Amino acid sequence: MKGTVALVTGATGGLGKAIATGLAREGAMVAVVGRSMARAEEAAKSIGQLVPGARLEPLACDLSDQSSIRAAAAGFLSRHDRLDVLVNAAGVFRKERHVTPDGLELTFATNVMAYFLLTSLLQDALKAAAADGNARIVNIASRYGNTKLNFEDLQTAEGKYSYLRSTPPTMLARVLLTQEFAERLSGSGVVANAVHPGLVKDTALLHDVGGPFRWVTNTFGATAAEAADTPLWLATSPETAAVSGKLWTKRKQLPTPGMGSGPAARKRLWDACARLAGMA
């Protein structure tokens, strides 16, 4: 991947950092996104120690804040006119309901709106890279089971809040957005795929929720390096260069049952996100 440019969110730890490390090892210049510049710089330094000679660029972005996303995208685009690989790996689990400066529920803002907005802002750079052959979007998501989106309450404002109510729909939303991006970018040379990495042990993602779920994850989950295999395969392998709009795990395609196979649902979600981002 020498000569290519990649950007990875959630790259300061866990799965995102493992993916950023893998892309750097393949020779890509990697923009390492962290919530603050200090965290991004620390992660870049750590990756540089693992991959001597790696080309790394720390990039600060609070993915729950749309103004921060816009500023980070503008900063990146001021330095790069192409983006070969975009990996959206950041996410949150929150025990209690929080509201962002944009007036959005934090889990929805970070897990869904950030994926939509950042990818939208970087579309032209992805298309520019695709002019040389191919560009790829890899969205970390999850197998969502029987989850459905409540379009009347996308931000879990009604009833008792819990991460078990707020988080699973955001994973379905990521799959739907992946499919919609794949459809809208069809023919451009940019492909978009989602990945279910399974349980990943020893990450900061579950620090806020703790309890049995965290214990099970840390006991039985894969290491971040193991979980990074399929995202890296989707980001780099020639055999996935033309595959788009799918959900994957362990290099195998997963079905997207229920709402996850509904064009109407993904279009409705897209329109809702565009409206909330002021892009409608």
Domain with residue 89: its CATH number is 3.40.50.720
CB neighbours of residue 132 within 10 Å: 12
pLDDT digits (tens, 9 = 90+) for 152-166: 999 988 888 777 788
Looking at residue 221, what is its pLDDT? 57
The parts of the chain modelled with pLDDT lower than 70 are 93-94, 199-222
Specify whether 144 is catalytic: no
In a 3-state reduction of DSSP, which class is residue 200? Answer: strand
Which domain, by its residues, includes 167? 5-276
pLDDT digits (tens, 9 = 90+) for 21-53: 999 999 999 999 999 999 999 999 999 999 999
Instruction: Decide if 276 contacts 104 (C-beta within 8 A).
Output: yes
- What token pair was written down for 13? 């730890």
Antiparallel, parallel or unpaired: β 135-140 and 190-195: parallel
Number of domains in the chain: 1
